[in-house]
Amino acid sequence: MSAPAPIIPSTSSIQGKTHCPGRSPSGWAGRWAEKMLDDANMPVNSDRPRLIAVVNSSIAVGFLQGQLQYLQDRGFDVTVISPGGNGLDQMARIEGVRTIEVPMARQISPLRDLVSLWRLWRIMRDLRPTVTNVGTPKAGLLGGLAAWLNRVPCRFYTLRGLRFETTNGLKRRLLIYAERLACRFAHRVICVSKSVREMAMASGLTSWEKTVVFGCGGSNGVDASRFAPTSERITRATELRRELGIPPSAPVMGFVGRLTRDKGVPELVEAFIRLRDQFPDLRLLLLGRFECEDPLPVEIRRRLETHPQVVLMGHQQGNGKPPLAGQPRGDWPVEDAAPYYSLMDVFVLPSHREGLPKVILEAQAACKPVAAARATGIVDAVAHEDTGLLFPVGDREALTGAVARLLSDKALATKLACAGHERVKREFRQEQVWEALYQEYQGYMQIRDIPLPAMSSLETSSRSQGSVTAGCR
C-alpha cells in the first residue's frame, strides 16, 4: 500500500484552516487561493485522480473514518471539506488526507449559504477534482452545486437520511426541493439503506436507476472489533458502573444520539418512568447532547437533568470534569462510546427517522439486545424477532413493552443479541462498503473514459483474490 500523505499543520487564511499538501494554483483563483495552497508548501500527486468529500459537520466527518485512507491507498488524492472542529483535525492526523475548513450553516441561511457556496466553488475550481462525494443535506446541496458548476466529471451524493420526514408545511417542501436539487446535481445517488432508497423514490427525489445501495446498506460500515465484549471491556464496564454510581445488579437501558424530539427522547423518558414500577433499580444511560434545533420539551429536559436514576453523558456542563466515584451523574463529553455499550443491558432507539443507524450496529457489535422504532433506516438494521424488537414510531406503550420484555426474558435477549452480533460481522463490515464505493467510483470513471487510479502490486494481488462486497440476505 502506498504511504499516506504527510500531515501539514493548520494555516490561517481568509476562508479558515487548511491541512493541505499544496500545489501551484492556476493563477486565476486570486490571492486567497494562492495563499491557502502556497502556505502548505507541499507538492500534490498530480498523476492521481483527485477525490473531494464534503460534509456539513464535525460529527459527519466520523462517517468517513477509515474509508478515506483506504481510497487514498488505492490511488486517489483525497481532500475532505467540512466545517472546523476536532473531527476535522483528527481526520487530517489519522487518515493522512488533505482537509479544508469551510463553515456551513445547518439551518437555511441565504447569505451564509451563498458565502459557503462561493468558497466551495473556488476550492473545487482550483483543485479540479475528478470525483466529488457530498453528503448531509446542506453539504449535499452546496457541495453538489459547486461541483456541478465546475463540471466535475464524476459527481456522487450520499443520501444518509431524509430530514424532511419529521417536518411539516413550508419547511418540509423546502427540504424536499433541496434534496431534489442535490440529487439532480449528482450523477449517482448512494442511499445508505434500502428503506431510504424507497422513501426517496416515493418522494420523487430522483430515479431508481440513478440510485444504488451497497449490500445491506451503510456508507462506512462498522468495525465490530471495536465494540466486541472482550474481557477488558467487561472489566471496564464494571469500573464505569462504580464511577457512575450504578449498582452492579441494576439494569441499564441505554441510548446514543442527539437529545431531540425526532430521536424519540420524550417517548424514551416516559417509558423509563413507567418501567421503574417493574424494575425499581433501572437506570437510563444517555450519550448525547441537547440541541437547539428540534429541542426537547422543557419538562423532559428538566427530568433528564434532575432525575437521580438518569445518567446523562456527553453534555458539557459545569467544569466538564468526570464525576467522583459514587456520583450518579456524568455530564462530560464522551469521545468513545464503546465502553458504555458494554454496561448496557438493553439498547433503545425510538427515533422517528434514520438513514442507517450506526449506533444500532455498534450496539449489536457489542452483543447487546436492541429495541427500536419501526422507522426508515432502522428497519434495515433490525430484523424484528430475529436481531431485535421493533415497535411503531411514537408508540410509548409498545416501547415500554419491548424494553420490559428484553429485561425480563434473558434467554430472548441473549438470542437476539447474538444474532445481531453475527449479522453485523457478516453484512456490515467496513471493508465491504469501502470496496463497493471504490468499485462505484471506478465504474463511473470508466464510463467517462477517465484513467483509473493506479494501485501497488500488493493491492492488485489482494484484489485479484476476489471482491469482498457482500449482498444482503
DSSP characters for 330-354?
A: --S--S--HHHHHH-SEEEE--S--
Amino acid at 427: E
Q: Which residues in 187-206 are b (16+ Cβ under 10 Å) and which e?
A: bbbbbbbbbbbebbeeeebb
Residue-wise pLDDT tens digits, 350-371: 999 999 999 999 999 999 999 9
Confirm or reject CATH 3.40.50.2000 for domain 224-427, answering yes or no: yes
pLDDT at 108: 75
Strand partners, 69: none
pLDDT at 347: 98
Q: Is 386 left (phi over 0), alpha (psi -120 to 50) or beta?
A: alpha
CATH topology of domain 18-221+429-464: Rossmann fold (3.40.50)
Same fold, 18-221+429-464 and 224-427: yes
How many angstroms separate the CA atoms of 315 and 291, rounded?
10
Residue among 323, 327, 322, 360 at smallest CA distance from 341: 360
Domain ranges of the chain: 18-221+429-464, 224-427
pLDDT at 333: 52
Element (H, E) at 372: strand 370-373
SS3 71: helix
Averaged over successive runs of 10 residues, the pLDDT of the chain (473 residues) comes to: 37 40 39 41 62 86 88 94 78 85 85 95 96 92 97 97 93 93 97 97 95 94 94 92 94 96 97 97 95 92 95 58 39 72 97 96 97 98 98 97 98 98 96 96 94 65 45 40
Residue among 332, 416, 340, 336 at smallest CA distance from 372: 416
pLDDT at 84: 74
Cβ neighbors of 257 (< 8 A, separation 6 or more) are 263, 287, 288, 349, 351, 359
Cβ neighbors of 144 (< 8 A, separation 6 or more) are 132, 134, 155, 157, 181, 182, 185, 186
How many angstroms separate the CA atoms of 81 and 117, rounded?
12
pLDDT at 345: 98
